[in-house]
Amino acid sequence: MSHKVVLAYSGGLDTSVAIKWLKEKYSLDVIAFTADIGNVPELSAIRQKALDLGAIKAVVIDAKETFVDSYVFPALQADAIYEGQYPLATALGRPLIAKLLVEIASKEGAVAVAHGCTGKGNDQVRMDVSVAALAPNLKVIAPAREWNMTREQTITYAQDQHIPIPITKASPYSIDENLWGRSIECGPLEDPWNEPPKDTFAWTRAVEDTPNEPSYLEIEFAGGVPTGLNGEPLAGPRLIQKTHELAGKHGVGRIDHVENRLVGIKSREIYEAPAAIVLLKAHKALEGLVLTKQQLRFKDKVAAEYADLIYNGLWFSGLRQDLAAYVASSQRYVTGTVRAKLFKGNCQIVGRKSPCSLYDYSLATYDQGDVFDQTAAPGFIHLWGLPVKIQARAQSLFRGQD
């Protein structure tokens, strides 16, 4: 009886080599699985390549809608950005890919699943831990972590095995893309002092090349989820794609981040996430209108924790579920429209409105129609400052000091 392994297959160097290697080293028949979570080029070519390399079956699943509805938008509702910079595109994709791998493995009666992550990155953690959460007894094989070849050696191995390879010495980058963002690593980027060369970028224009007129984008939200652009209702993947195109044209969404990996090292990462940057900013602006000060302060803490959980491979954890329930509750009134101005690499929020707005013109205005009771202010200040006054009398904290 032959044994099967389901391999998460991207068509790139490592996973292509892995098809041959799993057969050679483990005598396993490989079922290649490719998830389409956006921006996967030539899916049918990837499928064919897997078969040409000896996979017994090649499965492609369009998971864009699931990715957006169940991973990207919940993270958007949470305002999850890792270390204040990275919108977590890759980190959000991994748990979904792991989930689909597990499902296919169970359907196909496979004895193991496999992925192309190296032993140095975060992705191996996300894949392994997600599989462990969903199928605690399923074996995970990570060929690129086991074979211990350098990039050069992997290329040589691929050449020897007649595996067509997408990277050449002229393009030294390691790239991961899905519809929430693009990440670029390696080559000249490994020196954090080097400005990213022009060919790092594929989704966003350099500011020098952006239009001289701004574009405006009105984003409608319902319950914290973006539902339309400029008055046109759109499903998630399409909405993200349209935002991406317009923001990318204006050079919005380039991120240069020296990031703290889970495995203990710092790495220099370049991201392009035009849609994520615009939608995260717009979402936060709307929250600013409909959530109280206390809700906003608490949500900031949840956002940081939520981002860490996603980054650290703990999507399928009890705490992530708990926080998701909090976030869902916080979004009940995050309904309305935000206007963003895209110009010369910037996304500026220039307008927001909501039927659930807490902004009260008659309380805020300095013009006619002011209903704010200024005679209540001295009493409030008297009580607010009372502990300070008592402490000053009793402890002379500030004598001779600033």
In the complex, minimum distance from the CB of residue 91 to ligand ARG, in angstroms, rounded to a whole number: 4
Q: Residue 53, interface with ligand ARG (CB under 6 A)?
A: no
CB atoms within 10 A of CB 194: 11
Whether 123 is catalytic is yes
Q: Which is closer to ligand ARG, CB of 127 or CB of 286?
A: 127
Q: Residue 185, interface with ligand ARG (CB under 6 A)?
A: yes
Q: Residue 207, interface with ligand ARG (CB under 6 A)?
A: no
Whether 367 is catalytic is no
The site for ligand ARG, by CB under 6 A, has a size of 11
Exactly one of 269, 277, 286, 313 binds ligand ARG (CB under 6 A); that residue is 269
Whether 10 is catalytic is no
Side by side, the strands of the sheet bearing 266-272 are 174-178, 181-185, 266-272, 254-260
Q: Residue 175, interface with ligand ARG (CB under 6 A)?
A: yes
Element holding 347 (H helix, E strand) = strand 346-353
Query: Could you give the residue ranges of the DSSP H alpha helices within 41-88?
Result: 43-52, 64-67, 73-77
Q: Which is closer to ligand ARG, CB of 78 or CB of 334?
A: 78
Of 309, 248, 378, 355, the closest CA to residue 71 belongs to: 309
Under 8 Å between Cβ of 118 and 17: no
Backbone angles phi, psi at 378, to 5 degrees: -60, -40
Q: Which residue has the tokens 């307008």?
A: 351
Supply the DSSP symbol for 169.
Answer: T
Stretch of residues binding ligand ARG (CB under 6 A), selected from 53-61, 102-110, 174-182, 225-233 = 174-182
Q: Catalytic pick from 10, 47, 79, 94? A: 94
Under 8 Å between Cβ of 358 and 239: no
Q: Residue 91, interface with ligand ARG (CB under 6 A)?
A: yes
65 vs 75: CA distance, rounded Å:
15
C-alpha distances out from residue 317 to 110, 126, 148, 158, 321, Å: 25, 12, 30, 38, 7
Q: Residue 330, interface with ligand ARG (CB under 6 A)?
A: no
In the complex, minimum distance from the CB of residue 80 to ligand ARG, in angstroms, rounded to a whole number: 12
Q: Catalytic pick from 10, 47, 123, 145? A: 123
Element holding 288 (H helix, E strand) = helix 274-290
Exactly one of 128, 176, 220, 287 binds ligand ARG (CB under 6 A); that residue is 176
In the complex, minimum distance from the CB of residue 311 to ligand ARG, in angstroms, rounded to a whole number: 7
Strand partners, 353: 337
The site map against ligand ARG for 115-134 (x = CB under 6 A) is: -------xx-----------
Q: Which is closer to ligand ARG, CB of 269 or CB of 272?
A: 269
Per CB under 6 A, residues contacting ligand ARG are: 90-91, 122-123, 174-176, 183, 185, 259, 269
Residues with catalytic roles = 14, 94, 123, 174
